């Protein structure tokens, strides 16, 4: 699971308590996001690392077909969630030139791909009291997804149950139990703070287990890559000869990251689960 931990981390979104920002009335005024490549909107463009996605075919279905640094063909689940909450533009990557002035009234994105090789349940939550002391009142944390269902996991470890590596999924579920326990404890320790754990394990697992039910045709490999060997997102690049023509049919865009179409379904689930958080 250590290899996959470099790719997936919980996403933590902090929502402020007012509901008026520079864009007018939104359900929350600003979103501050921490996490890894699943929510990175381009911070890795500005640091020395091999883990970047600021080149085609990444972003081919994004606005102006721009490869912004998102590890996706289009929008991330957090982008779609922000739109549903009333935002007409997205909070900038904190390291980008756009992270200044009025743009920061939307919030900021601190996510960075491959940042979490030493992340534990404790380190994820130890900063929450500090943020609460600065005014954070609504915090949403995603669970780990079914890591054993990622195309990279299938290639590296083999698979069986429902086309996934069951032992890795079990590890993710055990981790998620600890996250839920930690969130409950924080809610008791910090009166006035709302902490909601968003389950992304089940909705993504359901897409992999029965892709046709949701309009997908492929859930075992990514749209972008070699089309055969799925080991790392680095295989998705301008020279990838196996890249599909229609990403809407694929649950995964590359070997580890969901497609925009899958992100839409994940975002729909996040909104439903987060009603208590934003109400």
Active site residues: 37, 254, 257
For residue 22, with 0-12 CB atoms within 10 Å meaning exposed, 13-18 middle and 19 or more buried, which class applies? middle
Tell me how crowded residue 40 is: count the other CB atoms within 10 A of its CB. 31
Outline where DSSP puts E strands in the chain: 12-15, 20-21, 24-25, 31-34, 107-109, 138-142, 194-198
| Residues 230, 217, 169: CA angle, nearest 5 degrees | 50
Q: Are 131 and 190 in contact (CB under 8 A)?
A: no
CA distances from 257 to 15, 99, 262 (A): 25, 25, 10
Three state DSSP letters for 124-175: HHCCHHHHHHCCCCEEEEECCCCHHHCHHHHHHHCCCHHHCCHHHHHHHHHH
């Amino acid at each position: 699971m250590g290899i996959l931990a470099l790719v997936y981390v919980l996403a933590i979104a902090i929502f402020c308590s007012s509901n008026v920002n520079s864009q007018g009335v939104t359900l929350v005024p600003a979103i501050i996001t921490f996490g890894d490549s699943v929510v990175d909107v381009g911070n890795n463009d500005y640091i020395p690392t091999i883990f970047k996605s600021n080149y085609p075919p990444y972003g081919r279905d994004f606005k102006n077909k721009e490869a912004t640094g998102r590890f996706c063909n289009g929008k991330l689940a957090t982008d779609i969630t922000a739109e549903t909450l009333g935002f007409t533009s997205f909070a900038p990557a904190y390291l980008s030139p756009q992270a200044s002035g009025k743009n920061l009234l939307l919030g900021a994105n601190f996510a960075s791909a491959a940042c979490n090789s030493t992340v534990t349940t404790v380190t994820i939550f130890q900063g929450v009291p500090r943020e609460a002391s600065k005014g954070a009142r609504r915090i949403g944390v995603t669970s780990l997804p079914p890591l054993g269902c990622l195309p990279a996991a299938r290639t590296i470890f083999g698979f069986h149950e429902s086309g996934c590596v069951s032992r890795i999924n079990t590890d993710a579920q055990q981790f998620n139990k600890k996250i839920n326990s930690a969130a409950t404890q924080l809610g008791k320790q910090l009166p006035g703070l709302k902490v909601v754990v968003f389950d992304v394990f089940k909705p993504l697992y359901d897409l992999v287990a029965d892709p046709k039910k949701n309009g997908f045709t492929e859930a075992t490999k990514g749209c972008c890559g070699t089309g055969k060997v799925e080991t790392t997102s680095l295989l998705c690049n301008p020279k990838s000869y196996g890249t599909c023509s229609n990403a809407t049919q694929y649950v995964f865009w590359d070997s580890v990251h969901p497609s925009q179409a899958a992100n839409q379904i994940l975002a729909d689930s996040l909104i439903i689960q987060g009603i208590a958080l934003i109400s």
